[in-house]
Structure 1
Amino acid sequence: MKYAKQMNKLGIALILTAASTFSAFAADPGMADMKGMGNQSMQGMDGMKNMNDTKGADMVMTDGEVKKIDTAQGTVTLKHGPLDNLGMPGMTMVFKVADPAMLSTVKVGDQVKFQAEKVNGKIVVTKIQK
């Protein structure tokens, strides 16, 4: 019986500790998304990028070769090097283009530099140049 009372006290103490911890987060909503941690919140994560969408302004151009152009579909097939911003190795693949007018600036066999970004969950060529 004495053991049961001690276990009840221990259980109550654990519940109170958990409740007070939860209430601290509820009282400071900034803690839930780490805003309260200042510059320390992302320490060690400098190389991480948002994998949902990428920004073209800070990306380097990737080398590629135009293998096929489909103006009706608004696509270009490129044999390309690694797309570091997307975590993809070099390969040959079909890309949608952000602006179909870009397709008139290249022809099959051209060596190009391009940027591909993830836009609304799809990989799109946003910039291409010879």
Structure 2
Amino acid sequence: MNELTIAFILSTTVPFAANAADNNMADMKGMNGHGMHDMQNMSGMKNMQEAKPGQVAMAEGEVKKVDFTQGKVTLKHGPLDNLEMPAMTMVFKVADSAMLSNIKSGDMVRFQADKVDGALTVTKLEK
């Protein structure tokens, strides 16, 4: 084959391959019809705010228990991407026990969590 034939073949097949790949990405199994362009609307992602690089996204959770004496809160939450954690209910330390003064069991909150000195810690909490 000469260079002109190869150029012709590439110019006619590459756009079709790219379009097919894009269509396959939009129809991926397990994504409930959400394409790669629509991932922010997926279940579990809708409660996350988009984070800037180096910033932890805010997540939503339900307060299950507040332990003032230990400075801990039990939260039922969605996935925490920065901690590579699926949705679950778990106990977190709080960075500042004053965060606990305005919340009670049953409250819906927005929070940031990160590893602080090896412990999973709520670093920001909003009611």
Structure 1 or 2: more helix by fraction: 1
Aligned match of 2:86? 89
Task: Tell me the SS of whatever aligns to 1:58.
Answer: coil
RMSD, matched Cα:
1.5
Give the partner amino acid of 1:71: F
Give distance in 2, aligned partners of 1:63 and 1:78.
9
1:31-53: CA deviation from partner (whole Å, max 9, x where unpaired): xxxxxxxxxxxxxxxxxxxxxxx
Structure 2 residues not aligned, in runs of 5+ = 1-53
> After the TM superposition, which residues 8-19 of structure 1 pair with which residues of structure 2 at under 5 Å, given as runs?
none
TM-score between the two structures when normalised by the length of structure 1:
0.55
Task: Tell me the SS of whatever aligns to 1:102.
Answer: helix
TM-score between the two structures when normalised by the length of structure 2:
0.57
Report deviation, 1:114: 0.3
Q: Which one has the largest radius of gyration?
A: 1
> After the TM superposition, which residues 39-58 of structure 1 pair with which residues of structure 2 at under 5 Å, given as runs?
58=55
Q: How many residues align?
A: 75
Give distance in 2, aligned partners of 1:70 and 1:117.
19
Give distance in 2, aligned partners of 1:74 and 1:111.
18
Note if 1:111 corresponds to 2:119: no
Structure 1 residues not aligned, in runs of 5+ = 1-56
Report deviation, 1:120: 1.3
Give distance in 2, aligned partners of 1:104 and 1:120.
23
Higher relative contact order (CA 8 A, sep 6+): 1
Q: Percent identity?
A: 66
